[in-house]
Structure 1
Amino acid sequence: MVNASDKKVIRELASRWKDLAAQPVMRERKRLWKAVHDLEPERPVILVETSSIDGFVAPEELSCQDPFLRAVEQNLRDNLRHAEELGDDLILEPYFRLGWHLDCSDFGVNVETRPATVAKDEIALGYTFNFPIRSPADVRLLKQRSFQVDRPRTLQRKQLLEDAMGDLLPVRVGNYDPFLAQWGDEGWTGMFFFGLTWQIYRFIGNDGLLYWLYDAPDTIHWLMEYMAQDRERLFEFLEREKLLVPNTDNQMAGPRAYGYVSELPGPEADGRTRLKDLWGWAESQESTVISPDMYKEFFLPYLARLSARFGLVYYGCCEPVHDRLSLIMQAIPNLRSVSVSGWADFRQVAEMLGRRYVYSRKPTPAFISGPNPDWGLVEQDMRKTYAAAKDCCVELLFRDIYTVAKDRPRLARWVAMTRKIFGM
């Protein structure tokens, strides 16, 4: 049962969402996103990640008392503020997404996150782990995970939301990312983030990852096979239990990338959704400092194996890819989008991708973050991008900003500046 005050808050926000989602500009933006992903762009598309920005919606702005509805309120307010203030190519669909509640067992070892110690008024962005696998022999401690879906709990929450706002904003249940981190698996993009070296790093640390390539190469292969099988079991579980829905809407189909594309079933598609109908997200940030040849031997085969299960693949996150991009393109024939971070060689990647792939540019967040943004560097970053990639299929995804020192207008300023540079 939803109390009257919480229901009033949720309904007011849902009504605003409904009105914004019905605006003609949303249909136009969908068309533009789809054109980029279809490799027939009319112009670049732009999206800023606001959900990770400290204080974009401050805790004191939230009114709901129920913890679940308070999280829903946070999600609604974040998207509404984004839509009303930034002027980027954000899309609001005329429905609200709710992820299935998944219960996943552990890996057999306790991976502890240890955040950095900071002052009370600072954000703890840095963190490390206890790295429980201390020697190659310790991999015997790892066990096979199991997965379960809690349908009653999920559907109970769906009913709660429908009672509160279902007549305004229908609720869709699927393999969506949980908006409360403690619920379900710690995944992104609807659980289709591969995260192989991401997890192995948490087991053995950077020292283990680098040294064992020489001292215990068979153990690295064992760990990659272990993680690949873990992901395969998860993906197969989601498909077998009929939990999948198309990620070809504004659900993330990569790191903050929308999934609109013509080659895969759309969000209104009828029938059972399969892995082959979806985007997958491959990356290997932790192997960046390892040579392309060793990357090809120890990591790429497992990423390619998982990629083959999906319809289209987004590759990369924050790592540079220019020195191994040709290997990735050969190994993953269904590759569609490639992340181009600030560490990449912009021009080299643009020449390699051409108009055969999406040039998914991640602007450098350090230039705009904190109390004193450097607008000269911010502009230079975008002008270099334009010079390198103006003839490519470009999406501009501004992620990992984390703090703007309560100066939200700088985000809209960046969007306007970028539109001007790219002639939009």
Structure 2
Amino acid sequence: MDLSKKDITILQDLAKEYMEVATLPVQEEKIKLWKSLNRGKMERPMVVIDQLPLHELNVNGELDCYVEDPFWRSIEFELRLSLYKWRHFPVDMVLDPFITIPKAIENSGFGIDVDREILHTDPDSDIVSQQYKRQINDMDDLEKIKDMTIVHHEETSQLWLEQASYIFDGIAPVRSSGGLQFHLGVWDVLSQLMGVENIYFDLIDRPQLLHGAASRLTDSLLAGIRQANELGVHNDIINTCHCSYIYTDELLPSSGEGKGPYSKNVWAFGLAQLFSSVSPSVTEEFEIPYITKLAKEFGMIYYGCCERLDDRLDIVKKIPNLKKVSCSPWSDPYVFAENMGEDLVMSSKPNPAYLAADSVDYDAIKKDLLETLKAAKVNNVNLEFILKDISTVRYQPDRITKWANIAMEVVNQY
């Protein structure tokens, strides 16, 4: 092992601190609450905070990493980030009582690289403005999209696991991750390969080109999904999907207790964000046939992200194995809840823009959360709040902590 004694000590000290938290009784209590929500018998709404402006949070060095080896530095960072979130805004997060070591899996993607121009507003941020160069211009260009291939470097996976067992011996159990979790959003991919405005024009001018592109990407994804099944590398022990905790009686009854690394036993997530600006009938024609083919392969589906869906829930609910649906700030929570039904989870996305203002209106944040809670309650809807896509907090991370405290106060009033 090339790790220095110093690096091993750093990892061991972090693991000790992590396990002190991960073995607290509250972890099992939170799992029970998540399972109640996910089976449609919510005890109270649940809260998650994720997708953070990490460069703005490290004001006191809590996220500084010191391990030199790149792979083990990534493990160090994951441990530090989990502990940071637990200290500052734990809300309803759950820490597994073991350290997860990833598998060495190579995913080819779609065989075509995104060509884009990038504009930075903050040189330290990975949140950037992007303009995509069109690469799919006609039916012949669909040949650029290749079948997704998955390769598992088993010897490397085994080496990492053996090293982890040595490093964390007597401190923390280690588990090899199940592997991959699939993103089924073919229209997000096409947005990058064609440009959003170009797609809007083609919906009218060249719909068959778009159907051809969506179909080709779907076939590529299916090839990857099925190859991952052959290799047994679907991640059946990961406890989140699209930032939402996914403990369920059927698939993940407790930490690490997956049902096997195959697509039928795991979650995947889909979305078609650019369709916020088109009619529901476009979603039905251009999204549902393709997401349906993909969703059939999985145990459960989380659908939606930042797009508006309150005006097309009847269409979205046609997706097979659907379990959770995103209610973004663009959706009316009352309309959404009225049309949601009692067997799915309304996954509310509170607006992160409140935290990006010159000064934060915490009263407005509380009012917004309470209105969504009221909408869910009067319609007997299962509800979770996921604060995500936080681009900036103006280098004031305590804003997130204050948001977390307000959110927990609100849900505990349920």
> After TM superposition, is the score higher than 0.5?
yes
Partner residue in 1 for 2:165: 162
- Measured after TM superposition, the shift of residue 409 of structure 1 is 2.4
Partner residue in 1 for 2:403: 414
Asked if 1 retains the 8 angstrom alpha-carbon contact of 2:41 and 2:382, the reply is yes
Asked if 1 retains the 8 angstrom alpha-carbon contact of 2:117 and 2:132, the reply is yes
Distance 1:135 1:291 in 2: 24
Distance 2:315 2:341 in 1: 16
- Measured after TM superposition, the shift of residue 108 of structure 1 is 4.2
Partner residue in 2 for 1:361: 348
Choose which of 181, 192, 201 in structure 2 pairs with 1:202: 192
**SS at 2:56's partner residue?**
coil
- Is 1:348 matched up with 2:335? yes
- Measured after TM superposition, the shift of residue 165 of structure 1 is 1.8
Q: 1:163 to 1:131 in 2, by over 3 A?
A: farther
Distance 1:301 1:12 in 2: 50
Choose which of 221, 227, 231 in structure 2 pairs with 1:241: 231
**SS at 1:127's partner residue?**
strand
Distance 1:309 1:217 in 2: 26
- Measured after TM superposition, the shift of residue 167 of structure 1 is 3.2
**SS at 1:54's partner residue?**
helix
- Is 1:37 matched up with 2:38? yes
- Measured after TM superposition, the shift of residue 265 of structure 1 is 4.7
Choose which of 301, 306, 320 in structure 2 pairs with 1:318: 306
- Measured after TM superposition, the shift of residue 135 of structure 1 is 4.0
Aligned length: 407
**SS at 1:368's partner residue?**
helix
- Is 1:133 matched up with 2:136? yes
Unaligned runs of 5+ in 2: none
**SS at 2:277's partner residue?**
coil
- Is 1:191 matched up with 2:178? no
Choose which of 369, 392, 395 in structure 2 pairs with 1:403: 392
Asked if 1 retains the 8 angstrom alpha-carbon contact of 2:350 and 2:386, the reply is yes
- Is 1:288 matched up with 2:276? yes
Distance 1:65 1:264 in 2: 37
- State the TM-score, normalized to the length of structure 2: 0.91
Distance 2:339 2:406 in 1: 27
Post-superposition Cα deviations, 1:127-168, rounded to whole Å, max 9, x if no partner, equal: 232232244443233333332122222222223322222432
Unaligned runs of 5+ in 1: 177-189
- Is 1:71 matched up with 2:74? yes
Distance 2:410 2:158 in 1: 47
1:16-165 to structure 2, matched below 5 A, reads 16-49=17-50, 51-57=52-58, 61-105=64-108, 107-118=110-121, 120=123, 124-165=127-168
- State the TM-score, normalized to the length of structure 1: 0.89
Higher mean Cα deviation, 224-233 or 408-417?
Answer: 408-417
The AA in structure 2 aligned to 1:338 is V
1:300-319 to structure 2, matched below 5 A, reads 300-319=288-307
**SS at 1:36's partner residue?**
helix
The AA in structure 2 aligned to 1:45 is M
**SS at 1:191's partner residue?**
coil
Distance 1:119 1:314 in 2: 31
Higher mean Cα deviation, 104-113 or 65-74?
Answer: 104-113
